[in-house]
Structure 1
Amino acid sequence: MTKPLGELFAVAAGKTMSAAARSGENKVPFLRTSNVMWDEIDLSEVDEMAIPEQELAAKLVEPGDLLVCEGGEIGRAAIWEGGRTPISFQNHLHRLRPIADDVDPRFYVYFLQSAFTQLGLFEGAGNRTTIPNLSSGRLKALDVPHPPFLEQVAIADSLKYVQRARHLNARLIATTEELRAATMQRLFSQGLRGERLKETELGPVPESWDVSTINDVALQTQYGLSIRGQAEGAIPILRMNCQDDGRVRFRDLQYVDLDEATLSAFRLEDGDLLFNRTNSIEHVGRTAIFDGVKEAVFASYLVRLKVDTLRCLPRFLNYYMNRREVQQDIKRLASRAVGQANINATKLRTIAFPLPPSLNEQAEIIAILDALDRKLDLHRRKREVLDQLFKSLLYKLMTGEISVYDLDLSALPANDGSAA
C-alpha cells in the first residue's frame, strides 16, 4: 500500500536567512542542508540567526522530526534526535512531523535514501530546469510505501543496527589511525633502545642515530617513462593513482608494450620507492613502496628511488616519508604553478630523515608499523563489507525482495547504540 507523504506528515518550511536575521539579536542555532546527511545530523558547524519571537515556535525542530533537503542532494534526510535547544531550520530544509499514529519516521528516512540513491523513483521530483529543488508541494505528493507500523519499526531497527556496526567500525579505523600516527612519532624520535636523546634539525632522536639525507642512501633516482598507456598491453604502467597510504595499488591500470632494453631499464623491483614528483599540491610528494609481486614499469610523473639496503631498509624510509608531518614538510619544497606542483629528483635527494645505524632496529620498527597496518587493513576491509551489506539490505528491504522477518544479523559486531 502507498500513500502520499503529505497524508503521513505535516510538512513545514524553515526560516529564510536575511540581513536582518544575520545581524539581529537573540540568535538561535539553525540547521542547513550541509548539516543533514543521510540518516545523520552533522553538528560540527552550526550557524545562527535571529528569529522574531512570534515566529520562533513554528520554526523549531523537536526530537523525532524528519528533515529533508530541498536543494543540493535533494531528498537527503535524517531524524533530529535531540541535542542543542532551541534549534531551528533554514528554508532549504523541509521539516516533516508525523500526523498519523502508525508512522515511524526512521523508516521513511531509509525509504527516501533508497528511492533517491538506488531506485530512481523520484527523478522528476526535483525542478531541474534551474537549481534542482524539491518543493513542499512535490514532497507532499510523493507516493511512499506504508507498511504496517510494526514492520516499519522492524525494518528501521535492522538498518539502524547495520548503521551502528558501520559507525563502530569507523571509530575503530579512526582510533587505529591515531595510534599509528602516535606510534610513528614515538618510534622515529625515541627509537626502541631507550637511548638518551640528542637535538637535531629534525627534533630529538636517539644519540646513536644519524640525520641523513636521501642523497646519502640513494643508489638511483630515475624518472619514469614518457609514454602513453593503453587499455591493453603487455606490461602495467603505474601512475599517480596507483599510490595509496604508502603502498602501490594495482588499480585503474594502463598498459604499454616495450622492447626488452626499455623494459629492463624501467622494470620495478621489490623495495623500489615511487615518489610522486608532480601533481596537485595535496598529492605531490606521496611515496609508495613496490612489493615486487607483479611485473610493472612506471610513468614519468613518478621518480623511482633505490636505496642502499646495507644502510637503510626501504620500508623504514617509506614509513618515515609517509608521516603526515613529513608530507607537509615535503610539500614546502615544491615549485608551484597554476593547479600543479613539482618536486624534482634533485630536491628529493635533499630530504633529511633520522637513520638508526642498526638494520635490526630498523627492522623492528618496521615490524611494529606493519602490525598496525595489518590491523588497519582489517578494519578497512570490514568497512567495505559493511558498506555493501547496508546498500544491499536497503535495496532489498525497500523493494520487498526480502522480508525483514527473515533477516539474521547476529554475526555483526554487538553494539549498544552508543556508536550511532
Structure 2
Amino acid sequence: MSWVEKSLDEVLKLEYGKPLDKSLRKEGGKYPAYGANGIKAWSDEYFHDEETIVVGRKGSAGELTLTDGKFWPLDVTYFVKTNKNDYDIKFLYYLLLSLDLPSLATGVKPGINRNNVYKIQAKFPSYSTQKQVAGQLDKAFDGIEQARTNTEKNLQNARELFDSYLQQVFSECGEGWKKTTLNELCTKFEYGTSSKSSQEGEVPVIRMGNIQDGRIVMDKLVYSLNEEDNQKYRLNFNDVLFNRTNSAELVGKTAIYKSEERAIFAGYLIRIHRNEKLLNADYLNFYLNSPIARKYGEQVMSQSTNQANISGTKLKTYPISIPVSLEEQQSIVDKISTLKEKVEELEATHKSKLTALDELKQSLLQQAFTGQLTQG
C-alpha cells in the first residue's frame, strides 16, 4: 500500500495539559507529571491513562516525551490524541521527532502554537507498515543510544585522566618544593571594572563567559568606552583571571590572557598580580583549575540563591605547593600542556563521534518517512 499525504490535523490533536496543584504533588507518587522536557513531579493523581506523546508547549517548546500508561501533563505541554486503530503512537513519535518542532517556537519564552503544527504535511503508510517502521527505528535508535553512552563515557574518562594528573602534580611537596599560600606569592588581587559596557567599540571587556577551559575565548564580546578604565584595567600578556562570582559549579574557573591586544576585565573577575620571581603564570592557571583548588573553593565560597562568591580575601588563602625553582615550574607546565593537548585530541574525536551519531539518527528518520526503510 502506498504512503498517503495528509496534514497533521487529520491525524492527531494536541490537547492542552493542566496545572497540577502543589497539594497534589507527592514525592514518591504513583504517576509522573510531565513538563515540557520530561518528568517534573510525581502524584497519586493522573490526568490521562494511555500511552501517548507529550509535546513541550512553552519553555522547552517542541521537545517530545513518549509516555507509558497513566500520567499528568502539566500546563506547559500538549499531549497527543489520535485514533489508535489507524495510527501507531511510536510511529507518530518518530514522525514528530523528524519534523524538528522546536524550530516552530517563537517568543521571548519560546512557545509553539498547535495550529502551526496542524498545518504540516506528512505521508502515512498502512497501520502495519507504521508498526514495521517504528520497530526498525526502535532497534536502530537503541544501538545508537548504546554507542552514545559508550562515547560519552570515553569522553568523561579523558577529562578525568587530565584531572587525575593535575591532582597528582599539585599534591607533590618533595625536595625543592614548599607549601605556601597565594598571599605569599602574589602582590595584589584586583577586581575589574564595574562600568557599563557597550555592544560596539574597540576595547573588549573580558567577562566570566569568556573564560573557557583555562583559556580566554574572544566571542560574545562587549566593549569599554571608558578611557580611564581602559588604562586602569588593561590586560597584560600572561595575566591570570579568576572568576569570583558565578554558579557554585563554575565559580573559581580561571584563565590566562595570552595576547598583546588591548582588552580589560569585568568586575566579576579578579586579576591576580603574582610575584614573577616566585610563581609561573601557567603553573598558577593550571593549579586554580585543578581538583585541589576547586575543592578548596567549595569550602570557602559563600552562597546565595543561584550564586556563589569567592572574594579576593578568600582567594589569598588558597594553599599551594610549588617547586621553588621557576625552571622546574616551567618543566611541570610543559608536561601538563603536552597531556592537555593529547586529551583535547581525544575529546575532539569523541565529540565528533557524538555529532556523527546525531546525524545518523536524522538520516534514519529521513529515510523512514520517505519510505526507504520499507522498500524491498
**Which TM-score bucket, shorter chain as reference?**
0.5 to 0.7
Amino acid in structure 2 at the alignment position of 1:368: L
| 1:30 equivalent in structure 2 | 31
SS of 2:242's partner is strand
Contact 2:252 2:297 in 1 (8 A): yes
Q: Tell me the amino acid that sits aligned with residue 174 of structure 1.
A: Q
Q: 2:95 and 2:341 mapped to 1: Cα distance?
A: 39
1:364 corresponds in structure 2 to: 335
Secondary structure of the equivalent of 2:189?
A: strand
Using the alignment, how far apart are the partners of 1:223 and 1:182 within structure 2? 31
- Out of 192, 197, 200, the position equivalent to 1:232 is 200
Q: CA deviation at 1:117?
A: 0.9
The aligned counterpart of 1:153 is 133
2:238 alignment partner AA:
G
Residue 217 (structure 2) pairs with residue 249 (structure 1): yes
In the alignment, the residues of structure 1 paired with residue 283 and residue 209 of structure 2 have an alpha-carbon distance, to the nearest angstrom, of 23
TM-score by length of structure 1 reads: 0.61
- The runs of 5 or more residues in structure 2 that have no matched partner are none
Q: Contact 1:224–1:304 (CA<8 Å) still a contact in 2?
A: yes
CA distance 1:255–1:387, shift in 2 (3 Å): farther
**What are the within-5 Å matches in structure 2 for residues 164-313 of structure 1?**
169-189=151-171, 191=172, 205-206=173-174, 209-257=177-225, 263=230, 266-279=233-246, 283-292=250-259, 294-313=261-280
Partner letter of residue 323 of structure 1? S
1:352 aligns with 2:352: no
Q: What's the % identity of the aligned pairs? A: 22
Q: TM-score, normalised by structure 2?
A: 0.67
Q: CA deviation at 1:274?
A: 0.5
Cα gap change, 1:382 to 1:218, in 2 (>3 Å):
farther
Q: How does 1:40-79 map to 2 (within 5 A)?
A: 47=42, 49=44, 59=49, 65-69=51-55, 73=60, 76-79=63-66
Given that 1:231 and 1:254 are in contact with CA atoms closer than 8 Å, whether structure 2 keeps it comes out as yes
Once the two structures are overlaid, the 10-residue window that deviates more, 354-363 or 262-271, is: 262-271
Structure 1 regions of 5+ residues with no counterpart? 127-137, 192-204, 407-420
Give the superposition deviation at 1:371: 3.0
Coordinate RMSD, CA, aligned = 5.1
Deviation at 1:253, TM superposition (A): 0.6
1:266–1:297 CA contact under 8 A, matched in 2: yes
- Deviations 1:119-178 (CA, angstroms, capped at 9, x unpaired): 35994339xxxxxxxxxxx99x88762333669939958994877766554443333333
* 2:61/2:105 contact within 8 Å kept: no
Task: Give the whole-Å Cα distance in 2 for the aligned partners of 1:335 and 1:114.
Answer: 46
The 3-state SS of whatever aligns with 1:319 is helix
Alignment check: 8 A CA contact 1:275 1:305 kept? yes
Asked if the contact 1:104/1:153 (under 8 Å) is kept, the reply is no
Q: Deviations over 1:169-206 (max 9, x none)?
A: 444333333333333333333x5xxxxxxxxxxxxx54
Number of equivalent positions: 349
Aligned-partner SS, 2:258: coil
